[in-house]
Structure 1
Amino acid sequence: MAEEDLTRQGARPARHGRREADGASADPTLPPSARPGPTRGDLRRLLRARRRRRRAVEGVAVLACLVVLVAYLASGDPDPGREATGGGPPGAGRPSGLPGVEARYPGPGQASPGLRPRQRPPSQSATPTPTAPPVRPTLDATLAEVPAEVDLTGVGSRDWLHWGLRGAGSTVRKRGGTGEIRDEGGRGAVGGWDDNQESFRWRDGTPVESVGGSPHGVYRCGAGSRFTLAVVADGQPRTVRLFAGVWMARGRLDARLSDGGPNRTLRIEDRHTSRSAEFTLAFQAPRGARLVLTWTAEEVFTADCGNVGVQAVALR
């Protein structure tokens, strides 16, 4: 009996020690080496947690793919091979909010699946160069008395021509002028005189640079004798002043435009002595056309060289 009691008393501490061991597995204060290993329940819970995380990651990946697809379908039609720094503004090659994901677009002329292609703006064609309206030929003519002194440099800003300074065949032109005034000769022998009632001066002539007052001019005798001049048009309004006269004759000035525009005729006469006039002609004609002036002795009143004469012409 004593042995049996001792045996029972010796077994109790063993069962008590087992309970302490069982309690040690839940005690967090024990060192890891004294803790028991994971149970099957723990493994099943860990496996379920891992599955939930994997499904969440897969869901995020699917959502990202959908966003990329929507951006692809909603985009226009830029060149798929064009880089963002090439033909468009910075960042145009990537959908907003998804850095690192390169967007792909349908090529030119291709419609996005299921969507209407975005309308392109009309191409900018080259702006046609405006053409100037055609020039309508105009011509007006008036006459007036010649001033006592005429400044050819002032009235001939584009060109001028003076006759007779050094004889019948002498002419002086504007230095650096346009050359638009043309002396086209005439009919009858040319003579020179130096007692004109009016004088002419200039400061920009060639071959004579300046003259303070020249009373010279040239003339042609007899009925039907004439001078012919031409002024080249440039399409802009221009004014010509012709200083001419008669001696015991009637002179007729015919002005016409070579392109068939309007024409004008003016006359002066003096049966007993001389008379001078300033003919002013305002005209406009297409570039290359000409204003033609013919100064003719329409009738003479003496057999002693009734004539028409010219002193100068100016253009501005």
Structure 2
Amino acid sequence: MADEDRTRTDSGAEDASAKHRSGAVTSGQTRAALRRVARARQRRRWAVEGVVVLACLAALISYLSFRSEPAPDDDQAGRSGGVTGVVARSPGFPATDGRTGDAGPAEPGLRPRQRPPSPDPTPSTTAPAPPPPSQQSPELSVTRGEMPAEVNLTAVGARDWMHWGQRGGNSTVRKRAGSGEIADEGGAGTRVAWDGNQEHVRWSDGSSQRSVRDSSEGVYTCGAGNGFSLAVAGSGESRTVHLYGGIWMARGRLEARLSTGGPASSAVLEDPYTSQSAQFTIKFTVPKGARLLLTWKVEKVFTPHCGNVGLQAVAVR
């Protein structure tokens, strides 16, 4: 038994020794291989760095060689045609602005230092300013429309208004603090007050009568050729005038003209059988100091019993 145990012990020791020697050999071989790989990598790195250094040296030598070449003389370049399309310049040739010396490089196809022609100035497209109001051309137009059932003179006559017949044939009421542009110039025939107009007027800024809520009053005059003459002052600006009038069994004609002359404009209102009312709108422009002249008169009667034209109010805005 003792011999058998010694034999097993010796065998185990030999196996362990063999394994130790095998591991040592393998470890040594691995370290040698790694050293060979490291040396190979270092040689490749040195080779790459050497190529880079050589390329940089070549570039530096090329650059220094280029900088050291002498520049060609301008006159020789001009004579030999070394620069395509550039014409030789003669020092001291007069420049186009009267000075002598170098005027800059010439352009192809031009004589030495000849400058290209300046472009034509662009014409101005700015529209002329409109003339001041005092220089505007006179204008005049007359239209006729239906008179509203109620007219607020305070609202319509922002600048001025005038009403007739509130207290008799010769009575008038004006706008308080108005412009005073409306003038009653009289007219042929006798004025008669009338309070039966179907259309009514109102105001809240009157002078002699401050406020009226519902007025049917007006005036009329009978017979062919009779009527009313009015005027409205001009200011150089466009103005609009509303005249509220009517007829009874007659033909009435409203004629408008300017004190500065020129053609007149007119409108007609006619009814052979009964009465009618209308709103006449007159637009005009005349210089300050000139006037719009209005004539509202009977042109024809259709009854021997006082065919007439009537007038209620005039407003300016």
Q: Which TM class, normalised by the smaller chain length?
A: 0.5 to 0.7
Q: 1: CA distance between counterparts of 2:136 and 2:184?
A: 25
8 Å contact 1:137–1:262 — kept in the other structure?
Answer: no
- The answer to which structure has the higher helix fraction is 2
3-state DSSP class of the match of 1:153? helix
Aligned-residue offset at 1:166 = 1.1
Aligned-residue offset at 1:153 = 0.2
3-state DSSP class of the match of 2:135? coil
- Please give the residue correspondences for 1:124-273 in structure 2 after superposition, counting only pairs within 5 Å: 132=132, 134-273=135-274
8 Å contact 1:151–1:200 — kept in the other structure?
Answer: yes
8 Å contact 1:227–1:294 — kept in the other structure?
Answer: yes
3-state DSSP class of the match of 2:185? strand
Give deviations 1:146-199, integer Å, cap 9, x for gaps.
000000000000000000111111110000001100000000011011010100
Q: 2: CA distance between counterparts of 1:257 and 1:204?
A: 29
TM-score by length of 1: 0.58
Q: 2: CA distance between counterparts of 1:134 and 1:237?
A: 12
Give deviations 1:62-112, integer Å, cap 9, x for gaps.
xxxxxxxxxxxxxxxxxxxxxxxxxxxxxxxxxxxxxxxxxxxxxxxxxxx
Q: 2: CA distance between counterparts of 1:311 and 1:253?
A: 14
8 Å contact 1:138–1:262 — kept in the other structure?
Answer: no
Aligned-residue offset at 1:131 = 7.9
Q: 2: CA distance between counterparts of 1:226 and 1:216?
A: 17
Aligned-residue offset at 1:252 = 0.6
> Which residue matches 1:301?
302
3-state DSSP class of the match of 2:186? strand
Code of the residue aligned with 2:175 in structure 1: it is: K
3-state DSSP class of the match of 1:154? helix
Give deviations 1:8-30, integer Å, cap 9, x for gaps.
xxxxxxxxxxxxxxxxxxxxxxx
Percentage of pairs with the same residue: 59
8 Å contact 2:240–2:316 — kept in the other structure?
Answer: yes
Q: 1: CA distance between counterparts of 2:135 and 2:312?
A: 35
Unaligned regions of 5+ residues in structure 2, if any?
Answer: 1-129
3-state DSSP class of the match of 2:187? strand
Alpha carbons of structure 1 residues 303 and 131: separation in structure 2 relative to 1, 3 Å: closer
Q: 1: CA distance between counterparts of 2:262 and 2:181?
A: 19
3-state DSSP class of the match of 1:187? coil
8 Å contact 2:135–2:236 — kept in the other structure?
Answer: no
3-state DSSP class of the match of 2:198? coil
TM-score by length of 2: 0.58
> Which residue matches 1:11?
none
8 Å contact 2:257–2:263 — kept in the other structure?
Answer: yes
- Please give the residue correspondences for 1:87-98 in structure 2 after superposition, counting only pairs within 5 Å: none
- How many residues align structurally? 187
Aligned-residue offset at 1:134 = 1.4
